[in-house]
């Protein structure tokens, strides 16, 4: 399936999966905010083709990624975006492993959902749980008020994750970052950059760790997130789409799943909007 045209409105593939799946629903929290445009990374055409081919390898469940049910590994599964990832993935027929520090925070129950207790900073624990999965979806973040103090949770967890993925031979990863990392201008941008400086520093370092690997990664940078039922999003490579400065957690989850299912946005930083 082809990637959507940059900046164009689109509908997710969820509806096409609904007739084959179960009815499951629940919710997460995160901090991310900004107005802006700019930045991203480019790689050679030959390298892109090689990595895309790797991402579309035969899955362990017997089909090509994007055309079959997958085994998905979710980090940050107890937050808003993480729980929406689980709900939508199950609805689309995938098998999901939620890797969480506090299993009691997850109320979702399903035959295709496995809950594994573990610390995302523990490379060995991740490495033991990862084999057999087709992709990792990371929605890890720091909640307020800790988010507004110096921290390095996402960066440290990314280091553990990429090491564990290399050991487990899992190559596909989608990371939720934040639109504040795009460059911008004006007083509003300056204010939010100051307010979210510690979040931005952690996410920038996590992105640098990930982009330095040979993994088939996608980095999603959404604006301010809120609870809503909409799964609609707009995606622009290397820029934040123009328009409203907030979107739903669920739409971010839909983008992450679409990227993995369709094998698109390999090694791209993608700005999201509603």
Per the model's pLDDT, the better-predicted residue between 67 and 140 turns out to be 140
Whole-number pLDDT of residue 14:
43
Assign 236 to helix, strand or coil. Answer: strand
Whole-number pLDDT of residue 64:
42
Q: Would you state the torsion angle of the CA atoms of residues 210, 213, 215, 218, taken in this order, to the nearest 10 degrees? A: 30
Range of the domain at 190: 26-273
Q: Does 23 score more than 70 pLDDT?
A: no
Per the model's pLDDT, the better-predicted residue between 164 and 28 turns out to be 164
For 261, the enclosing helix (H) or strand (E) is helix 249-262
Average pLDDT over the chain reads 83
Q: Which contacts (CB < 8 Å, 24+ apart) does range 104-113 have?
A: 105/78, 106/77, 106/78, 107/26, 108/24, 108/26, 108/83, 110/22, 110/24, 113/86
Q: Does 31 score more than 70 pLDDT?
A: no
Q: Does 117 score more than 70 pLDDT?
A: yes
Residue 163 lies in a domain: yes
Least confident residue range of 31-40, 42-51, 90-99, 163-172: 31-40
Q: Does 35 score more than 90 pLDDT?
A: no
Look-up: residue for tokens 């004006």? 186
pLDDT range class, residue 226, cuts 50, 70, 90: very high
Whole-number pLDDT of residue 24:
37
Whole-number pLDDT of residue 236:
98
pLDDT range class, residue 188, cuts 50, 70, 90: confident
Residue 84 lies in a domain: yes
Q: Angle CA(97)–CA(99)–CA(105) in degrees, nearest 5?
A: 105
Least confident residue range of 20-24, 163-167, 179-183, 209-213: 20-24
pLDDT digits (tens, 9 = 90+) for 141-164: 999 999 999 999 999 999 999 999
The percent of residues in the chain predicted with pLDDT above 70, rounded, is 76
Residue 15 lies in a domain: no
The structural domain count of the chain equals: 1
Per the model's pLDDT, the better-predicted residue between 18 and 214 turns out to be 214
Q: How much is the average pLDDT of 43-60? A: 45
pLDDT digits (tens, 9 = 90+) for 189-215: 899 899 999 999 999 999 999 999 999
Q: Does 115 score more than 50 pLDDT?
A: yes
Whole-number pLDDT of residue 185:
86
pLDDT range class, residue 34, cuts 50, 70, 90: very low
Whole-number pLDDT of residue 189:
87
Residue 197 lies in a domain: yes
Question: Which domain CATH number covers 200?
Answer: 3.40.50.720
Q: Does 78 score more than 70 pLDDT?
A: yes
pTM listed for this prediction: 0.79
């Amino acid at each position: 399936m082809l990637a959507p045209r940059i900046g164009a409105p689109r509908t997710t593939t969820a509806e096409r999966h609904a007739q084959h799946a179960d009815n499951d629903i629940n919710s997460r929290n995160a901090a991310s905010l900004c107005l802006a445009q700019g930045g991203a990374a480019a790689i050679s055409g030959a390298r892109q083709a090689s990595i895309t081919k790797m991402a579309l390898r035969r899955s362990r469940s017997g089909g090509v990624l994007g055309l079959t049910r997958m085994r998905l590994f979710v980090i940050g599964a107890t937050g808003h975006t993480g729980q929406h990832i689980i709900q939508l993935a199950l609805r689309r027929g995938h098998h999901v492993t939620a890797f969480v520090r506090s299993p009691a925070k997850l109320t979702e129950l399903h035959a295709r959902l496995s809950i594994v207790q573990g610390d995302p900073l523990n490379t060995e624990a991740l490495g033991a749980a990862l084999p057999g999965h087709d992709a990792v979806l990371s929605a890890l973040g720091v909640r307020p008020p800790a988010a507004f103090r110096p921290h390095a949770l996402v960066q440290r967890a990314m280091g553990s994750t990429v090491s564990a993925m290399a050991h487990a031979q899992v190559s596909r990863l989608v990371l939720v970052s934040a639109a504040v990392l795009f460059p911008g201008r004006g007083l509003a941008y300056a204010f939010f950059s100051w307010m979210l400086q510690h979040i931005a520093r952690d996410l920038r370092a996590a992105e640098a760790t990930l982009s330095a690997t040979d993994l088939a990664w996608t980095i999603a940078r959404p604006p301010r997130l809120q609870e809503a039922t909409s799964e609609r999003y707009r995606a622009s490579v290397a820029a934040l789409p123009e328009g409203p400065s907030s979107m739903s957690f669920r739409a971010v989850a839909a983008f992450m799943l679409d990227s993995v299912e369709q094998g698109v946005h390999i090694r791209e930083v993608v700005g999201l909007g509603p």
